[in-house]
């Protein structure tokens, strides 16, 4: 693991990273950092400050505390927003390289394990959610996220999963797993989540 990587990860992200070989490879083969924090007036990260990772419905506070009622984690009644820190387990996340929708050889173990679950119970439906990092155009990132989800779908189908067991949605950069203008966060965000 890149030595500068470990201290930057917040406590919240450790659970995600524990035993996750996929994250290591996704991080070490990064292209060079292109960000200049000083030129980003809107970004609050400081040198040494930790990156946050949080589940859907959990805002880190401050930036998202918009509501007049003071509740940042809103959502609508009865809505299927996972709250309370429901992190997607590491064995259901496939990471990607920058600007790429290619399934890396290291990801095959995770995809195969999930494909076995699906072939073992053909009534199980999975939703593959494609994500990108925050750089570039938002709608173009929706298309890139879908391309990543499709790549995992194709791999699963090649492993014997029936196409009708797989649904796809792309969130592009709209639902980052980690917020932070740095390569570590970007690497955590370029992913497909395998949801059941």
Partner 1 sequence: MNPITRLLALLVLLLGSSLTHAQLTIDITKGIEGSGIPIAIAPFSGGAPEDITGIIAADLQRTGKFAPQPAGSRADYSVAGQASSGGSRGYVVQFQLSGAQGGQLLNLSFDAPANQLRAVAHRISDLIYEKLTGDKGLAGTRIAYVAGGGGTWYLVIADADGQNPQTILRSGQPIMSPAWAPDGSKLAYVSFEGRRPQIVVQDVVNGSRRTVSAAPGINGAPSWSPDGQRLAFTLSKDGNPEIYALNLGSQSPVRLTNGGAIDTEPVWLPDGSIVFTSDRGGSPQLYRIGPGGGAAQRLTFDGDYNARPAVSPDGRTIAMVHRRGGRFHIAVLDLQTRRFRVLTAGGLDESPSFAPNGKMIIYSNGQRLMAVSLDGSVKQEFALRGNGRDPVWAPFAR
Which residues of this protein are in contact with partner 1, per CB under 8 A? 31-32, 34-36, 39-43, 54, 56-60, 63-69, 72-81, 83, 127, 134-140, 142-144, 146-147, 168-172, 174-175, 179, 181
**Closer residue to partner 1, CB minimum distance, 18 or 139:** 139
* Nearest distance in Å: CB 11, partner 1: 18
CB of 38 to partner 1, least distance (A): 10
Q: Minimum Å distance from CB 194 to partner 1?
A: 15
Write the CA distances from 69 to 7, 54, 73, 76, integer angstroms: 35, 22, 11, 14
Nearest of 61, 115, 62 to residue 91 by alpha carbon: 115
- Burial of 24 from C-beta contacts in 10 A (0-12 / 13-18 / 19+): middle
Integer angstrom CA distances of residue 179 from 18, 123, 188, 195: 19, 35, 9, 21
Of 22 and 53, the one with the shorter C-beta distance to partner 1 is: 53
Q: Closer CB to partner 1, residue 35 or residue 119?
A: 35
* Minimum distance, C-beta of residue 12 to partner 1, in the bound complex (Å): 13
Q: Which is nearer to partner 1, 22 or 145 (CB)?
A: 145
Q: Return the H-helix or E-strand segment holding 191.
A: strand 191-195
């Amino acid at each position: 693991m890149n030595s500068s990587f470990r201290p930057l990860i917040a406590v919240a992200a450790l659970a995600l990273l524990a035993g996750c070989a996929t994250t290591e490879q996704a991080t070490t083969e990064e292209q060079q950092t292109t960000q200049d924090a000083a030129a980003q007036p809107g970004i609050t990260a400081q040198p040494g400050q930790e990156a946050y990772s949080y589940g859907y419905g959990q805002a880190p506070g401050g930036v998202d505390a918009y509501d007049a009622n003071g509740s940042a984690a809103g959502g609508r009644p009865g809505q299927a927003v996972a709250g309370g820190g429901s992190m997607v387990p590491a064995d259901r996340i496939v990471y990607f390289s920058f600007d790429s929708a290619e399934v890396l050889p290291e990801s095959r173990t995770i995809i195969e394990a999930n494909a076995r679950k699906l072939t073992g119970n053909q009534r199980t439906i999975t939703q593959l959610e494609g994500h990108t990092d925050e750089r570039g155009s938002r709608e173009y990132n929706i298309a890139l996220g879908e391309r990543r989800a499709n790549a995992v779908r194709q791999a699963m189908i090649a492993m014997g999963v029936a196409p009708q067991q797989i649904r796809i949605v792309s969130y592009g950069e709209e639902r980052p797993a980690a917020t932070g203008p740095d390569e570590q966060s970007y690497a955590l965000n370029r992913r497909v989540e395998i949801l059941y």
